[in-house]
């Protein structure tokens, strides 16, 4: 199944839906860039933008060194990811990127 690359000019809204994480997990790819830095390549489940999201070391380390909110027997870690698309979204606060969508990303 291919995801259409058309961008939806939805109004900016900070929102998450359970299906975002599911949708992204089905279609994303995760590249290990340098050391503990990762780049998540995916399509925003809300606005449809093609995204390259850098998961920097501090984020990743914070996720792995602080006590996990939900200890997971598989050792998977979750980091919060949000849309960083640069297209227009009505009502977006100055200096922000994205459409406001965010979701948890599972790093195994």
| Residues in touch with Zn ion (CB under 5 A) | 44, 46-47, 49, 83, 85, 87, 99, 101
CA dihedral 76, 55, 59, 83 (to 10 degrees): -100
DSSP state of 37: -
Closer Cβ to Zn ion, 77 or 92, answer by number: 92
**Residue 64 CA: distances (Å) to CA of 11, 36, 106:** 34, 11, 12
Question: CB 51 → Zn ion: shortest distance, Å?
Answer: 7
Pairing mode of beta strands 77-82, 29-32: unpaired
User: Minimal distance in Å, beta carbon 40 to Zn ion?
Assistant: 13
**CB 93, min distance to Zn ion, A:** 14
**Closest CB to Zn ion among 42 and 49?**
49
């Amino acid at each position: 199944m291919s995801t259409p690359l058309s961008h939806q000019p939805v109004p900016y809204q900070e929102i998450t839906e359970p299906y975002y994480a599911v949708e992204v997990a089905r279609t994303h790819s995760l590249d290990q860039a340098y050391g503990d830095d990762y780049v998540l390549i995916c399509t925003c489940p809300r606005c449809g933008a093609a995204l390259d999201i850098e998961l920097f070391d501090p984020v990743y380390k914070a996720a792995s060194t602080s006590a996990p909110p939900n200890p997971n027997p598989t050792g998977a870690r979750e980091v919060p990811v949000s849309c960083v698309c640069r297209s227009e979204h009505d009502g977006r606060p100055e200096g922000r990127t994205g459409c406001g969508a965010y979701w948890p990303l599972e790093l195994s």
